[in-house]
Amino acid sequence: MNHLFDIILPTYNNREELHACLLGLESQSIHDMRLLICVDGSMDGTMEFLDEYCSHTSMNIIVLQHPDGKNHGRNATRNLALPHVNARFVICLDSDAIPDPDFLEQHLCILEQGDCISAGDLTYVNAHKNHWAAYLHTRGKKRYPNMALIPFQYITTGNLGMPATFFIQLQGQDSAMRGYGGGDTEFAYRVHIAFNPNVYHAQLAIARSFMQKSINEALDQMEEFGSGNLRYIRAKHPEFTQLFNMNLVLGKGLQSRLIRVLLHPFLGSITEFLVKISPIGISIRLLPHAIMSRMLKGYQRIA
């Protein structure tokens, strides 16, 4: 092993954000790292930018792309790094996120405790304006204090540290999942089954991003997830019964039927309307219903 961290950065048509991310990595308090930049068929001049950037940076960078140069989805793109990983730890980071200078240092504080997961998250700088960003700031691992043990479902690859052996032995993420959503959840489940590691909230390993999705775009993606990757994960891991409580939602009992009535698309559309016209503080309380309604609508569309 020649270095402490291999940092995997999948990127697709976000050259300017990628540049800001790289500048953040240049400023790290820990320099013992290598960047594996995985390009997913970008057509915005990313490859030309990287050629020029690599010619003058002191960072150790390997640029990878699919042999056909086309878009294959984030899972398959991140897996381009698999043959090259040989560090002690792997860091997964979204290429539109800017890490604070002590980002790697904070992950290392957790990872040195043993074979565990250091689960950071993205901090959205426009969460005070963007309803979707504000909602995400209230969910998942963000509800836990720093260094708290958290459920494995909160392993997400936008900001994540793990022993490199985890990523290698699992052969990365499921490349068959190309549509929106669920890639992290499926990977998290396999990590849990294979290694059952402690998962710590790395609240201080901060990576800052700007949320560009609108509520409409986010809910459309949740419907796409319901019709595609949600079905795929349930078929691949039928024993994963806690997956978005779908066993309960799709059950045959009275409670399940009542839940499906409450998630009917008509009621979901009313909630969506209220989400869009309400202040952020109210919207984020209504969004779980709108999300589950859209997810179920997508799931049932091809049932």
What are 243's two structure tokens?
């997956």
What are 215's two structure tokens?
């509520």
Question: Is the Cβ–Cβ distance between 32 and 5 less than 8 Å?
Answer: yes
pLDDT band at 176 (very low <50, low <70, confident <90, very high): very high
The pLDDT of residue 217 is above 60: yes
Give the pLDDT score at 270.
97
Give the pLDDT score at 241.
86
| Alpha carbon distance 271, 276 (integer Å) | 9
| Alpha carbon distance 232, 230 (integer Å) | 5
* Domains of the chain, each with CATH number or no CATH: 5-209 (3.90.550.10), 215-301 (no CATH)
What are 92's two structure tokens?
């997964």
Average pLDDT, the chain: 95
pTM over 0.75: yes
What are 53's two structure tokens?
């950037």
Cβ burial 67-105 (10 Å sphere, 16+ → b, else e): eeeebbbbbbbbbbbbeebebbbbbbbbbbbbbbebbbe
3-state secondary structure of 90: strand
> Which helix H or strand E contains 52, and what residues bound it?
helix 46-54
For 233, list phi and psi in degrees, rounded to 5: -65, -40
Our CA angle for 212, 217, 219, nearest 5°, is: 125
Give the pLDDT score at 303.
54
Give the tens place of pLDDT for each residue, 19-59. 999 999 999 999 999 999 999 999 999 999 999 999 999 99
The single-letter code of the amino acid at 34 is R
Give the tens place of pLDDT for each residue, 117-150. 999 999 999 999 999 999 999 999 999 999 999 9
Our CA angle for 176, 181, 183, nearest 5°, is: 50
